[in-house]
Structure formats: structure tokens, C-alpha cells
Amino acid sequence: MSRKAAVGSATIVAALALWFFATTMTQMISPGRFPSPADTWVAFKQITGVGYANGVLIDHVVRSVVLVTLGFLVAICTGVPLGLLMGWSRKAEALINPVFLVIRPIPPLAWIPLAILWLGLGDMAKILVIWFAAFVPSVINAYTGVRNLDKPLIEAAQMLGTPFSTFVREILLPGASPMIFTGLRLSLQASWTTLVAAELVGAMTGLGRVLNAAQQDLFPGMILVGMIVVTLCGWVMTAALGVIERRALSWNTATRAGD
């Protein structure tokens, strides 16, 4: 593990050195196309100090994180139950699946114009678009999780006289949870992708707004800062989800380690 970590950090150091070499040292890449480390640092100081595009960095980060979290929560709170329902009940599946099949192939970003038309340039439109994007993976994976439940486990629960509410809480949910978490991870990724795109189109603050403004100002350093911060935010949220997943599925990760 430490060897792996050493190789990983060596790669990162090499990449940074190459970046410095290609920009500042030799000017192989012109500063107008890609910022040097120094340009990036200047941009970073600017956005954390005096601010950029209607706010300092923390404003943009908070804005984007709040929107992603809201959209993501709305999506999973609707998507997971719907997926569980479709997985469990053939009737519900027959009823809902046709609608789902029609809506599913629509690229989430294609909803942006309609969302803006309905709800304007405000937060609601962005949450709506995130919902469309993050909803689908939640539904599909919760559905698959239920369908892949071991049949004898269901029969064992029936034989033990398990009432339906207990069955949902103690058999269906935990049994489907490895797949549900896969869905949540995909939903979270989709939420970030969609948010940045939605903010590019129209927003007062937010990381997508920073990127858009920097592009219009021909400010490569700020573009790179925006990209790095978006990546870090996404990474932190995915890691947090991973911690929750490992806690919730301790019985399951232990299985994998044991095999």
C-alpha cells in the first residue's frame, strides 16, 4: 500500500514538474492557452481575496455544493423508493416502466432550456435539471438490487412470518443496499456534471459561473482554478459517500475481504 502511495505521489510530482517545464520554463505552451503555475496561483489569490464573478471562492463553493446536495437528495429520495417499488411489484413495473423508458434516453442537459423556461434562471431550475440527471441511476440500481435479491432469503423471511414493514426495513433495503449505493455514487457524479453545465448557462454565483466568466474574460488561470475546485468538491463529496457506504455495508465489505 505504501509502495502504491509512493508511486502515486511520484507521478503527481512529475506531472507538476512537467507543467512547470512546459509553461514557465520553456514557454512551449503559450500563457494565453494554458496558465502557468504562477498564473494559477495569482488567480487563486484573486478569487480568495477580492473575489471574482460576484463573490469570493467560498461563496461560489457553498452555492454549488448546496445546489448539488439539494438536487442529489431530491433525486435519491424519489429515485430509490421508485426503484425499490418497481423491483418488488410487477404491477408497478408494468405501469411505470414505459414512461421511464421514454424519458430515460433524453440527455439531462437537454432539459436545461425547458427548465429555464419553466422556472427562470434561479436555483429551482438547476435543482430540477440535477434531479432529472441524478434520478435515473438511483432508480435503475435500486431496481436491480431488489431483482438480484437471493430468492431463498425472501422465502426464509416469509417462512419466519416477517410482516411487510419489517421485511422492507430488514430484508429488502439491506439486501438491495450494495446496488443502491452504486446508484448513489453514479447519481452524485451526474449531479456535479449537470450543475456545472447548468451554471455555465446562467447563474449569478457558483463554480460554473466562475468558469463561464473566466472564459469570457480570457483568463486561463481562473479557468484552471475553477476546474480544480470543482474536481475537489466532487471528490470530497464522493469520499464522504464512500465513508457512509462502508459503514452501512460493513457486513458486505467484510465478505469481500474474507473471500
Partner 1 sequence: MGAIRFDNVGRIYGTKQDGFEALKGVNLDIADREFMAVVGPSGCGKTTCLRFVAGFDQPTSGIVSVDGVQVTKPGPDRAVVFQQFALMPWKTVCENIELGLRNKGVPKAERIKKVNDILALMSLTSYADAFPHQLSGGMQQRVSIARAYVLDPEVLLMDEPFGALDAQTRVVMQEELVRLARRNPRTVMFITHAVEEAVYLADRVAIMARQPGRVKEIIDIRSVREAERWDDHEKIEDVMDLESFVHLRTQIWRSLRQEKAMEIA
Work out whether 165 is an interface residue with partner 1 (CB under 8 A): no
In the bound complex, what is the minimum distance in angstroms from residue 67's beta carbon to partner 1? Answer: 34
Q: What are the phi and psi torsion angles at 46 (to 5°)? A: -65, -50
Q: Residue 99: name the closest of 86, 111, 112, 88 by CA.
A: 86
The whole-angstrom separation of Cα 207 and Cα 233 is: 10
One-letter amino acid identity for 109?
A: L
Instruction: Give the closest residue to 139 by CA, choosing from 101, 91, 193, 189.
Output: 101
Residue 239 interacts with partner 1 (CB under 8 A): yes or no: no
Q: Total residues at the site for partner 1 (CB under 8 A)? A: 23
Residue type, 24: T
Who contacts 111 (Cβ-Cβ below 8 Å, separation ≥6)?
A: 128, 129, 132
Binds partner 1 (CB under 8 A): choice among 144, 162, 193, 238: 162
For partner 1, the closer of residues 180 and 190 by Cβ is 180
Shortest approach of partner 1 to residue 181 CB, angstroms? 13
Q: Which is nearer to partner 1, 105 or 152 (CB)?
A: 152
Strand extents, DSSP E, the chain: none
Q: Does 244 bind partner 1 (CB under 8 A)?
A: no
User: Residue from 152, 216, 243, 247 that binds partner 1 (CB under 8 A)?
Assistant: 152
Residues 51-90 that bind partner 1 (CB under 8 A): none
Rule CB under 8 A: choose which of 159, 218, 239, 243 binds partner 1: 159
32 binds partner 1 (CB under 8 A): no
**103-111, 133-141, 203-211, 246-254 -> range binding partner 1 (CB under 8 A):** 246-254
148 makes contact with partner 1 (CB under 8 A): no
If phi > 0 it is left, if psi is from -120 to 50 it is alpha, else beta; for residue 163 that is: beta
Q: Least CB distance from residue 170 to partner 1, whole Å?
A: 7
Q: Does 247 bind partner 1 (CB under 8 A)?
A: no
- DSSP letters, 128-169, are HHHHHHHHHHHHHHHHHHHHTS-HHHHHHHHHTT--HHHHII
168-227 residues in contact with partner 1 (CB under 8 A) are 170-171, 174-175, 177
Q: At what angle do helices 220-248 and 207-216 cross, to 10 degrees?
A: 160
Q: Which residues contact partner 1 (rule: CB under 8 A)? A: 150, 152-153, 155-163, 166, 170-171, 174-175, 177, 251-252, 254-255, 258
